[in-house]
Amino acid sequence: MGEEAPEFRVESITLEPKDCHRNAVQVGNKTYVIGRSDEESKSHFDIKILDKLTQTWVVPTVLGAQPPSRSHSAILVNDEKILVVEKGVSLNDSIWFLEIDTPFVKQQRKIKGSEVVSWSKGVLGVAHKPVVISGPSGVGKGTLIAKLMKEYPSKFGFSVSHTTRSPRVKEIDGVHYHFAERSKMEQDISEGKFLEFAHVHGNLYGTSIEAVESVTDEGKRCILDIDVQGARSVRASSLEAIFIFVCPPSFEELEQRLRARGTETEEQIQKRLKNARAELDQSNSPGLFDHLLVNDDLETCYENLKKLLSLDDEHEDSEDCCMKDGKATACYSILSKTESEILLQSDIGELEKGSANLLALGLSSLTGGAPGRTRGLKIQPVNPIANGLKAIR
Ligand code: ADP
Ligand code: 5GP
């Protein structure tokens, strides 16, 4: 059963002018009031929605990790999301989106049967889609991923899954998996902390939203090593990704690799081989996998994987845009919006500090969103004179 959102009537909204701790954004017949409330010395966001036709307020369920909650400015980007710019934090941490009607929010609203909004942090840089790698146990997924991470440590980050299975020798908690108690993992799943989960070979495995977000926050492309059921769930979610299925050259070779790895008991090997047949059958499910890779010769397969991910393209790095001083403290307010960009103006004498007074946030390259980060944020300094703009103070 969904939680009932409390509703109450009001006469009018009172917002002090220039109140930077509370913003009202008009969306059709609704007003979204994004405010800050201080409770028990902790500051957090307080979101209320006024239906102007019925003059009733709704307090929505707010999903996702929220911004640090300092002073902020807000503007409607489109019918789906509101941009919220935080002040007094680094530029890297200052851009947030409050999703009010994205496909994810619509889906959650349906599940809960009440009003829902969700936070999604904006991440600077080129938005590369996460990569989902599936395939039967023993086919070589882990080996391929390890090679990729070794060759491109700053480009790729591994989404560390949770599992209830026991660690193998040499597996490190927090690096290969988060080894979890079943009851705790089930509780976290029920609280919506997981992007997907599945029962695989008798254990519970799952990808937490945090696992994917922490890789994205480092500006890296996220790699998920998950089974076919997990791939299906991610396909059905709003996380846009590239889906790759790795096949063995033959079933006999798969069995040999699984045995040669020497990490499973005979019983477990039999279970994995049985499941492998079903997974191989599903690899051709229409619309599920974008690419099938045969892992016969390891080096050849690895080169093919790199081609799929355009890593043979010399120009990739030059795409990386943006402000190089994203870690410096920023104090920007939203100045204006056009179809393609939002202008941010510095509140303090940023010019004196050598950083830009005006920034343009490009909207065309934005992608992703809740659950997870909004990627592809491109912020460029603007020359106000060249652009015929007057700075407003
Ligand atoms: P997965 O992660 O898909 O379960 P692993 O990466 O653990 O599989 O690989 C299973 C075993 O097969 C490992 O011992 C690995 O060294 C070996 N292996 C991986 N790729 C190849 C290959 N192309 N040829 C021969 N052995 C391989
Ligand atoms: P292993 O026990 O060999 O590490 O993994 C067994 C299977 O579980 C593999 O097919 C692997 O891809 C899958 N797996 C690992 N992590 C996850 C996860 O987070 N979600 C899902 N659905 N499958 C996972």
- The pLDDT tens digits of the residues spanning 126-147 come to 888 999 999 999 999 999 999 9
Q: How far is the CA of 135 from the centre of ligand 2 (A)?
A: 9
Quick check: is 173 in a domain?
Answer: yes
Quick check: is 297 in a domain?
Answer: yes
Strand partners, 267: none
Judge contact between 335 and 344, C-beta under 8 A. yes
As for ligand 1, residues whose beta carbon falls within 6 Å of it are: 135, 137-143, 257, 260-261, 295, 298, 301
Q: How far is the CA of 180 from the centre of ligand 2 (A)?
A: 14
Ligand 2 neighbourhood includes 137 CB (under 6 angstroms): yes
Closest-CA residue to 278 (of 298, 253, 251, 242): 251
Eight-state DSSP code of residue 71: S
SS3 49: strand
88 and 156 share one domain: no
165 and 238 share one domain: yes
Terminal-residue alpha carbon distance, the chain: 50
332 and 303 share one domain: no
Ligand 2 atom with the shortest distance to the CA of 133: 12
Closest-CA residue to 132 (of 298, 293, 271, 314): 293
* Exposure string for 289-305, b = 16+ CB within 10 A, e = fewer: bebebebeeeeebbebb
Ligand 1 atom with the shortest distance to the CA of 225: 2
Closest-CA residue to 369 (of 91, 130, 43, 75): 130
Flag whether pLDDT at 227 surpasses 70: yes
289 and 327 share one domain: no
Mean pLDDT of 268-279: 96
Ligand 2, atom 5: nearest CA belongs to which residue?
137
Question: Among residues 109, 272, 373, 375, which one is catalytic?
Answer: 272
Average pLDDT over the chain, rounded to an integer: 87
Quick check: is 316 in a domain?
Answer: no
CA distance 201 to 270: 10
* The domain boundary residue, chosen from 266, 282, 308: 308
Flag whether pLDDT at 238 surpasses 90: no
Cis previous bond, 371, omega within 30: yes
| Alpha-carbon distances, residue 99 vs 61, 65, 237, 285, 368 (angstroms) | 12, 12, 15, 32, 11
* Known catalytic membership, residue 272: yes
CA distance 210 to 159: 9
207 and 277 share one domain: yes
* The domain boundary residue, chosen from 245, 278, 308: 308
Among the ranges given (153-157, 172-176, 388-392), the one the predictor scored with the smallest mean pLDDT: 388-392
CA distance 390 to 137: 61
Quick check: is 392 in a domain?
Answer: no
Work out the number of other CB atoms within 10 angstroms of the CB of residue 338. Answer: 9
pLDDT tens string 283-294: 999 999 999 999
Could you tell me the CATH number of the domain that includes residue 218?
Answer: 3.40.50.300
Ligand 2 neighbourhood includes 206 CB (under 6 angstroms): yes
* The domain boundary residue, chosen from 308, 339, 366: 308
Strand partners, 246: 293
358 and 259 share one domain: no
Quick check: is 52 in a domain?
Answer: yes
Quick check: is 154 in a domain?
Answer: yes
Closest-CA residue to 192 (of 116, 94, 96): 116
200 and 290 share one domain: yes
48 and 103 share one domain: yes
Q: What is the pLDDT of residue 322?
A: 56
108 and 21 share one domain: yes
pLDDT above 70 covers a percentage of the chain that reads 85
Supply the pTM of this predicted model: 0.81
Quick check: is 64 in a domain?
Answer: yes
Ligand sitting nearest the alpha carbon of 171? 2
105 and 148 share one domain: no
Judge contact between 77 and 97, C-beta under 8 A. yes
Quick check: is 165 in a domain?
Answer: yes
Phi, psi of 27 (to 5 degrees): -135, 100
Flag whether pLDDT at 40 surpasses 70: no
* Known catalytic membership, residue 373: no
Q: How far is the CA of 227 from the centre of ligand 1 (A)?
A: 16
Closest-CA residue to 365 (of 343, 341, 382, 345): 341
How many domains, in total, are found in the chain? 2
* Known catalytic membership, residue 393: no
Q: How far is the CA of 207 from the centre of ligand 1 (A)?
A: 22
Cβ neighbors of 198 (< 8 A, separation 6 or more) are 204, 205, 206, 226, 227, 229, 230, 233
121 and 22 share one domain: yes
Q: Which two tokens stand for residue 76?
A: 């409607």
Residue numbers of the domain that contains 226: 131-308
Phi, psi of 224 (to 5 degrees): -115, 125
232 and 355 share one domain: no
Eight-state DSSP code of residue 113: T
Mean pLDDT of 49-53: 95
Q: Which two tokens stand for residue 218?
A: 């480092």
* Exposure string for 149-184, b = 16+ CB within 10 A, e = fewer: eeeeeebbbbbbbbbbbeeeeeeeeeebbbbbeeee
